[in-house]
């Protein structure tokens, strides 16, 4: 299995631009999570989906952030407009309900730099 | 709020056992102890978890005290590739969405 695949690995953009991060979860997994990691705040859960349905988006910082999961094999995290404080590493993770609870499989992350 | 306490950093000599402590004195009866690690520039990686019995897998051993207020992750023969941040996390059964990462312990394995 290829694991959780994220793209792009690195993104540098200017303030005000739209940013779209992509994630392909492990095939068969029914939970998908988006995390953000910064030096100041560590790893934070932004939103998670179950069977493509958003369950809890209380961690999404503000309306500039949105996430979708149109099908079981693809999710996007969009920031529009982007701001310098959005600079972080964004991780996607997936897991299977009924598997080892708490065993999340993380992707390699997307490092975002907003100038 | 990760609700666990870990030392910010530790050092270990290559080939020796690395013992990483975690305090979770307020853990509830239905909460497991999970360990993850994050190697620089990579996503977190699950290591092991347990409820009250000691656990061992191919990566590590987990020792949980009888009162469940603390635990120790043991890497029996640390290698340079084990240098990482190690996170100890409390998690209720069935609550994957409640995986909250604290600051963890930065383990440095020295040659």
pLDDT per residue as tens digits for the range B4-37? 999 999 999 999 999 999 999 999 888 899 999 9
Residue B97 scores a pLDDT above 70: no
Please give the residue of chain B at the shortest CA–CA distance from A48.
B97
* Band of pLDDT at residue B99, cut at 50, 70 and 90: confident
Tally the C-alpha atoms within 13 A of residue A48's C-alpha that lie toward its C-beta: 19
- pLDDT per position as a tens digit, B45-58: 999 999 998 999 99
* Contact predicate A112/A106, CB 8 Å: no
Minimum distance, in Å, between the CA of residue A57 and any CA atom of chain B: 11
- pLDDT per position as a tens digit, A53-94: 999 999 998 899 999 999 999 999 999 999 999 999 999 999
**Which of B32, B94, B99 is closest, CB to CB, to A104?**
B99
Tally the C-alpha atoms within 13 A of residue B102's C-alpha that lie toward its C-beta: 22
- Name A28's Cβ contacts closer than 8 Å, sequence gap at least 6: A96
- Name B109's Cβ contacts closer than 8 Å, sequence gap at least 6: B11, B12, B13, B14, B18, B78, B79, B80, B81, B82, B83
Residue B67 scores a pLDDT above 60: yes
Q: In B, which residues are within 8 Å of A3 by CB distance?
A: none
Residues forming beta bridges with residue B91, ordered by sequence position: B32
Minimum distance, in Å, between the CA of residue A105 and any CA atom of chain B: 7
**Which of A48, A108, A109 is closest, CB to CB, to B97?**
A48
Residue B92 scores a pLDDT above 60: yes
- Specify the 3-state DSSP secondary structure of A63: coil
């Amino acid at each position: 299995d290829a694991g959780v695949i994220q793209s792009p690995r690195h993104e540098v953009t200017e303030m005000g631009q739209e940013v779209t991060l992509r994630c392909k979860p492990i095939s068969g997994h029914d939970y998908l999570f988006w995390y953000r990691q910064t030096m100041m705040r560590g790893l934070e859960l932004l939103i998670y989906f179950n069977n493509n349905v958003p369950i809890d988006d209380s961690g999404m910082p503000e309306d500039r952030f949105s996430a979708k999961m149109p099908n079981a094999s693809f999710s996007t995290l969009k920031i529009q407009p982007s701001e310098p404080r959005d600079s972080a590493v964004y991780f996607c993770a997936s897991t299977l309900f009924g598997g080892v609870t708490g065993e999340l499989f993380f992707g390699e992350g997307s490092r975002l730099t907003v100038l | 709020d990760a609700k666990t306490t870990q030392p910010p950093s530790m050092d270990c000599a290559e080939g020796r056992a690395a013992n990483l402590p975690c305090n979770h004195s307020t853990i509830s009866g239905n909460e497991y102890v999970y360990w993850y690690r994050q190697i620089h520039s990579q996503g977190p990686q699950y290591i092991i978890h347990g409820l009250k019995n000691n656990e061992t897998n191919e990566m590590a051993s987990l020792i949980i005290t009888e009162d469940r207020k603390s635990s120790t992750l043991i890497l029996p023969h640390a290698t340079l590739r084990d240098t990482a941040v190690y996170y100890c996390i409390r998690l209720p059964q069935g609550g994957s969405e409640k995986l909250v990462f604290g600051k963890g312990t930065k383990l440095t394995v020295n040659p």
